[in-house]
Amino acid sequence: MPRLRQAYTPHPVVDQSAAHLRGYIEGNDAISGRPFMQEVLEGLTSPLEDADITGLSFERTTPRFVEPDTEEKLQRLFEENRWTDMLPIVLPTEERVAAMLKGTSHPPDKIVGRLRPTVFREAWEFDVEKVAVNAVMAGARPEYLPVILALASSGVTARSSSTTSFATIPVINGPIRNELAMNTGIGVMGPYNHANATIGRAYGLLSQNLQGGSVPNETYMGSQGNWYAYTAVIPEAEERSPWQPLHVQQGYKPTDSIANLFFGGWYTHAGYGPRATWKEKMRHALAAVEQYSPPLFVMDPIVARGFVELGFDTKEKLIAWLADNALLTAREYWDNQSIQLLRPKAVAGIEPYASRLKAAPDDVIKIYEPSEIHIVVAGGETQGAWKMISGALRGTASIDAWR
Amino acid sequence: MPQQITVHDPRGYAPKVVGKRLAPRLSALDGKTVYLVDCLFDNTDVFIEQLRQWFAEHLPAVNTRIARPEKTWSDDEKMRAAIAADGDAAILAVGL
């Protein structure tokens, strides 16, 4: 929109008083430095130019290769262009990319999908070769490529530019976990497995490069950023879980290899047990969440078996209890910043938001539907540990489709 | 001399930019109806109200009306049609 008339206030608008916002209006445009309202009024009344009437149409091409140079200078070029995560990358030479492409049966020019940093922005397109390039950069091996292609095909970016600093956490299920020797045990969420580490990193790199960037103050506005964005992949410990794996809960066959993408990473709560006071612990944890982003529970097999002993012999039973006990007063719920995004739905009569809005301020309301809460089992059984991580299920992709 | 190597460009493909002509501008705002469109993010209603008050105080001859889309982050065609039918101009508040 190069010809569109635009005027910019400073950030943020949220949580600012009316007087503060009036200051934005009476102050200067955050980009041009000229008076904000002068920009607005000129935008409405200044005569159009020829280019405004014809409109600008143009192509933007991306070359297949960058100009040849030395390894040292190319590393610097990739960093300066913000094509990396600021850690050294493996340079995507022709030979390395060709080798990576052997990890899939799909042709290099097949379109994989489209990604964008926010719903307001244009989506960029990419093919198998471009995904392979980013997989090489992350240090991934060719056999990982179907997983990386599945993540790329999901339409869910790992580089959201929300000011609230999301990350996207994939959960991997099915035989592919064992084929790639992914770690579901000790240190599953730490830097202890090549496939876990590089698949998550590849997903981040491909997201930023294939969607048109993730550059602070341009295509990335997350105020605090998110550590999960470096790399985050959770393969479920299906063989050591007393419950159905996530993809079987969803109706897939155990022999299907599936990636589920959880958009969140805002909060991480921790607990152990289940101990005698587990109900209180869970209620406190659920009441403390940023309620716009529902919880993804990651439970060590010890914890999962403990819940089975308490009568929760399916994930669904425990999820139902969690949904019944994720409670807040309506006043607290509706005071949340991000929950304001749901208010129009509530006003329009869409449930369950409409009932939550009708509640009196001190009425206690349920804040999640069972369908919004997920549990995966992972961990090395050295501790009965669980994590509750912010994560809304935003996409599901078949890994087998990209073999 | 260090060896030069060739590497792939890691970026995706940007969509073609297809130009649209801008709506005709007004020569003056007096007596005209300007819609102030709230994007429905948190606190944007407060911002839009301040914008309305600014017009009332500084340009009282301009008629302002506040409009809101049906849902957050949606292109509300009905709202656009209403603005096109009744309004002379619109200021769209986007982002937050």
pLDDT digits (tens, 9 = 90+) for A314-329: 999 999 999 999 999 9
Of B14, B22, B47, the CB nearest to A48: B22
Q: Which residues of B touch A345 (CB under 8 A)?
A: 71
**Single-letter amino acid, residue B24:** P
Mean pLDDT on A339-347 = 86
Percentage of chain A lying above the pLDDT 70 cut: 100
Q: What is the pLDDT averaged over residues A159-179?
A: 97
pLDDT (0 to 100) of residue B8: 98
**pLDDT at residue A56, rounded to an integer:** 78
- Please, are residues B35 and B87 in contact by the beta-carbon 8 Å criterion? yes
> pTM here?
0.92
The reply to whether residue B10 touches residue A137, judged by beta carbons under 8 angstroms, is: yes
Chain A partners of B7 at a C-beta cutoff of 8 Å?
Answer: 65-66, 74, 91-94
Give A286-299 pLDDT, tens digit per residue: 999 999 999 999 99
What average pLDDT does this structure show over B71-75? Answer: 79
Diameter over CA atoms, chain A? 75
Contacts of A78 in chain B (CB under 8 A): 10
* Mean of pLDDT over chain A: 96
Contact B2 A72 (CB under 8 A): yes
Residue A29 to chain B, least CA–CA distance (Å): 14
Residue in A18, A122, A348 nearest the CB of B46:
A18
A-proximal residues of B, 4-63, CB under 8 Å: 4-22, 24-29, 34, 40-44, 46-47, 49-51, 53-54, 58
Tens digit of each residue's pLDDT (9 = 90 or more) over A111-157: 999 999 998 889 999 999 999 999 999 999 999 999 999 999 999 99
Lowest mean pLDDT of A33-42, A310-319, A330-339, A369-378, name the range. Answer: A330-339
B43-62 pLDDT, tens per residue? 899 999 999 999 999 999 99
| Chains A, B: CB pairs < 8 Å | 197
pLDDT of amino acid B46: 94
| pLDDT at site A1 | 66
Q: Is the pLDDT of residue B22 over 80?
A: yes
Determine the pLDDT at residue B20. 83
In this prediction, does ipTM exceed 0.95? Answer: no
Residue in chain A nearest B51 by alpha carbon: A25
The minimum CA-CA distance between B80 and chain A, rounded to whole Å, is 17
Q: Is the CB of residue A14 less than 8 Å away from at least one CB of chain B?
A: yes
Residues 325-344 of A with CB under 8 A from B: 337-338, 340-341, 343-344
